[in-house]
Structure 1
Amino acid sequence: MNPNTFYIVSDSVGETAELMAKAALSQFLNSEMRIQRIPYVEDVATLNETVQTAKENGGIIAYTLVKPDFRKHLQARADEANVIAMDMLGPIMDHLQGYLNEEPILQPGLVHKLDEDYYKRIEAIEFAVKYDDGRDAKGILKADLVLIGVSRTSKTPLSQFLAHKQLKVANVPIVPEVDPPEELFQVDPSKCVGLNIEPEQLNHIRHERLKSLGLDGSANYARSERIQEEIDYFNKIVDHIGCRTINVSTKAVEETANAILNTIR
């Protein structure tokens, strides 16, 4: 009897083995084999049933089972039943174990966990870009974390750094001439962090920023009186919200980010 079903057995989703099976079958133009996944295998009874079904239907089996005892059991039952069974993961893991001189952790589904983490990180990065610098106040209520501070307190690089930790961060600039968005006063204070800075340090940073842009360092933006006015207004907003603050004067972005993570956790 010609085999007509390709059974894909996995203790996770089974996507890896299915893709490999499809790639192999694509080389046989006259093949009409169908592929049937048997995912999330948790017991030997399912393995036995799959072997029996493959035998009755004249099918073959490919498997990506992380647990060695499951692999041995399925292969043994398939050999007894004269059913072709191909281990698509075990040999690679065995070679890697010898090459890396490290024991595998034997936990199913880690590939998909890594994929999930990757997409969460990308989503958080896109969120940080969309709601950077108070562009859209709607993001304040959607965010995992809201950063507020005067200009040049590293709000944007902090938002991006924390996004790589899968946090959705919105940041809002605090400027005396502009009323903060109403959403800022509706957010849970525990989700809001104010970025404080010493006036002298901010003065130096702004002077350097103006120089890098080829502008006069005596502009109002870098004047000590203006900076103090902004910081006083920032403190007023922080008191109104009731949120915590972190002094970023002498901290690198990574240090501030770690301080924030420790605070919100």
Structure 2
Amino acid sequence: MKNLKIFVVSDSVGETGEQVVKAAATQFRPNFDGVIIRRFPHISSDDHIRNIVEIAVMQDAIIAFTLVEKRKRQLMKDLCQQLNIDCIDLLGPVIELFSRKLDEQPLEEPGLVHKLDEDYFKKVEAIEFAVKYDDGRDPRGILLSDVVLIGVSRTSKTPLSQYLAHKRYKVANVPIVPEVEPPEELFQVDPRKCFGLVISPEKLHAIRKERLIALGLSDDAIYAKKDRIEKEIAYFYKVVEKLGCEVIDVTNKAVEETANDIIERLERLKNMS
């Protein structure tokens, strides 16, 4: 039984090339008997390409490559032809076809697919985080978060958490209620990543009344009474003072506007450190 050795050469991680090679190899050796696949990732220089081709000559290997830069693809082809090495360009023909169809030049930037994948999974992770640590349901998330939001009920903590999560920030939010002591974890985080959300008593009164009506309840419940709201806001400011965090008035702000405000503050903080 003949052996088959394939070098997978890439200017990125080489996953794409390896999957194509494996898919083809299984048509001959479903169990990969006698098939050796060696990956050469992050190839960035002409010398790397020359060295790989020389090794392929010594080991009688086939070279399958995914190189986004046209000049490097051509160098690989030329060297393999000179040294009588079988090679296959897995990516070049597709790039060239797309270039002709779009009448555009490719970026020739390695690893873009993986950057997109990484960005997507970070977003999903942040969204799942926001759901898991919403409304103070698990205070352990406070210490793991990028942003902590605190505020009395109906100050847009949850929608703001979700909006920031779509921007890849891990957010935990904690309701502030006079009868409930804030979790200890809240006083252990950097106050600069903690933001208190406040709203005018009049606006909050109207929002809470609408909420009660939507739930089919009486709008004169304690939850919506003005003296109760003023008590909650007064307690909120006591907690904020103890924490030393910034306060954002969300009375007349859309969620997007508040989120952008927070992101700008975080970016300034990052640039200062």
TM-score range, shorter chain: over 0.9
Kindly indicate whether the alpha-carbon contact (under 8 Å) linking 1:4 and 1:57 is maintained by their aligned counterparts in 2.
no
Shift of 1:218: 1.1
**Following the alignment from structure 1 to structure 2, what is the Cα–Cα distance between the partners of residues 107 and 29?**
34
Residue in 2 aligned with 1:46?
Answer: 48
**Following the alignment from structure 2 to structure 1, what is the Cα–Cα distance between the partners of residues 142 and 202?**
30
Paired letter, 1:70: K
**Following the alignment from structure 2 to structure 1, what is the Cα–Cα distance between the partners of residues 101 and 249?**
48
Kindly indicate whether the alpha-carbon contact (under 8 Å) linking 2:164 and 2:259 is maintained by their aligned counterparts in 1.
yes
Kindly indicate whether the alpha-carbon contact (under 8 Å) linking 2:134 and 2:158 is maintained by their aligned counterparts in 1.
yes
Kindly indicate whether the alpha-carbon contact (under 8 Å) linking 1:194 and 1:244 is maintained by their aligned counterparts in 2.
yes
Residue in 2 aligned with 1:68?
Answer: 70
Q: Partner of 1:159: helix, strand, or coil?
A: helix
**Following the alignment from structure 2 to structure 1, what is the Cα–Cα distance between the partners of residues 100 and 246?**
51
Residue in 1 aligned with 2:18?
Answer: 18
Kindly indicate whether the alpha-carbon contact (under 8 Å) linking 2:29 and 2:35 is maintained by their aligned counterparts in 1.
no
Shift of 1:8: 0.4
Shifted more, 210-219 versus 114-123: the winner is 114-123
Q: Partner of 2:23: helix, strand, or coil?
A: helix
Paired letter, 1:195: L
TM-score, reference length from structure 1:
0.93
Shift of 1:3: 6.2
Shift of 1:138: 1.8
**Following the alignment from structure 1 to structure 2, what is the Cα–Cα distance between the partners of residues 112 and 214?**
49
Residue in 2 aligned with 1:182?
Answer: 184
Residue in 2 aligned with 1:27?
Answer: 27
**Following the alignment from structure 2 to structure 1, what is the Cα–Cα distance between the partners of residues 192 and 186?**
12
Paired letter, 2:84: N
Q: Partner of 1:13: helix, strand, or coil?
A: coil
Paired letter, 2:211: R
Identity %: 55
Residue in 1 aligned with 2:263?
Answer: 261
Shift of 1:56: 3.0
Gaps of 5+ in 2: 268-273
> Is 1:6 equivalent to 2:6 in the alignment?
yes
Shift of 1:154: 1.1
**Following the alignment from structure 1 to structure 2, what is the Cα–Cα distance between the partners of residues 178 and 253?**
26
Residue in 2 aligned with 1:198?
Answer: 200
Q: Partner of 1:262: helix, strand, or coil?
A: helix
TM-score, reference length from structure 2:
0.91
Query: CA RMSD, aligned part only?
Result: 1.8
Kindly indicate whether the alpha-carbon contact (under 8 Å) linking 2:3 and 2:34 is maintained by their aligned counterparts in 1.
no
**Following the alignment from structure 1 to structure 2, what is the Cα–Cα distance between the partners of residues 129 and 169?**
9
Shift of 1:37: 0.8
Shifted more, 75-84 versus 26-35: the winner is 26-35
**Following the alignment from structure 1 to structure 2, what is the Cα–Cα distance between the partners of residues 156 and 210?**
18
What's the CA shift string for 1:102-141, capped at 9, x where partnerless?
A: 3322221222222222222222222212211111222222
Shift of 1:189: 1.2
**Following the alignment from structure 1 to structure 2, what is the Cα–Cα distance between the partners of residues 253 and 97?**
41
Q: Partner of 1:194: helix, strand, or coil?
A: strand
Residue in 2 aligned with 1:216?
Answer: 218
Residue in 2 aligned with 1:92?
Answer: 94
Q: Paired residue for 1:78, among 72, 77, 80? A: 80
Kindly indicate whether the alpha-carbon contact (under 8 Å) linking 1:63 and 1:87 is maintained by their aligned counterparts in 2.
yes
